[in-house]
Amino acid sequence: MSDSSPTHDSPPPPAVTGVSEPPVANDSDTNAKCQTALQSLSSIVTTATIPSTISLLLEDNAVSAAISSLLQLPDSGAGDNNLCRWLYDTFQSSEPQLQLLVLRFVPLIAGLYLSRVPLRQPQAGFEAVLLALYAHETTSRAGQAVTVNIPDLSHASIYHESKGPAKNNSTCLNIAVISSTLDPHGTVRSTRRARIVGVALELYYGKISMMPRESKLNFCESCEKWAGQNGEREEEEQPRGLIPEEESVAVGGRSEKDSGRIPLPWELVQPILRILGHCLMGMKGEDREVCEAASKACQSLYLRSLHDINPKAILATGSLLRLREMALDPKNQVDHTEISSDNVLSV
């Protein structure tokens, strides 16, 4: 009996050691990938000092400005661009921290890419990054659409008596599709462009709470350019039946007023409005500039939707502007749970 007891007690220590080793190995692999990515970035961005960690890099304004400057170069979207290749390889590493760093520049990449499409410039580098984001989301969804169950007031709740026959909630669900199923694509075509960029913006929206304010400001600026730079005056000057691309061809080129203006189908407008809604509802002091930029972008999109006679976009953008107006109204700042001093009786 004394020999059998040690025999049963000896296996647990090796088992505990074996379980604790993989997380250490994973952490070391993650650190190695992050350091490799940082070293590669330092050879591309030479005008700023690269921080030692990804978290510091995400908040580093100097490095972000340097990367943004490189992305805004005329040939930045080419297939042999080193920065685009770095963004592609970094996102493909499957490390959440590195992917977050790539998502930080999605608004700028999407803005530059869509604005340069009418110029017929080679943008294989930008397209590779956007396709990597699209493929990642396609794999994550596994052929399923993103849906939400909308409450139906015609169904009696558990807190109210039902006068009519009870309904089976399992067969009467009011399901709305937020984002439809994704088909795998290996190339970007004109018919797929809006969907691919829209999915990239959906990924950005999923991590928007972790994004720095400069990234959100870049997105708001891109939205203003996509809608049209001159707002109401542009709406009055442009002919109703002439789309921007046709007008550019008619005059022999794109004017400065129309630079950046793009078609806005609903599959692109929907994720745009989600991001703007997040920016508009941020009422903290440090988010004031973001709120104002989002308000201007939403106003531009509202005017654009009126010009295009897009009912869904008119309703959505108008609702966001109304919510913003209600949030700024002093009458809505009253806390109705507090007792007003006018109703207090003094004895």
pLDDT of the residue at 184: 77
Distance CA 211, CA 99 (A): 12
Look up the pTM and report it: 0.75
Q: What is the mean pLDDT of each run of 10 residues along the chain (347 residues)?
A: 47 42 57 88 89 86 92 89 93 89 93 88 90 90 80 66 57 72 80 90 92 90 82 44 40 48 90 91 70 92 92 92 81 64 60
How far is it, in rounded angstroms, from Cα 228 to Cα 222? 10
pLDDT value, residue 126: 93
Phi–psi pair at 146, nearest 5 degrees: -90, 115
What pLDDT, in 10s, does the model give residues 190-249?
A: 888 889 999 999 999 999 988 988 899 989 999 998 998 554 444 444 443 443 443 443
pLDDT at 188: 82
Dihedral angle sign, alpha carbons of residues 219, 223, 224, 228: positive
pLDDT score recorded for residue 103: 94
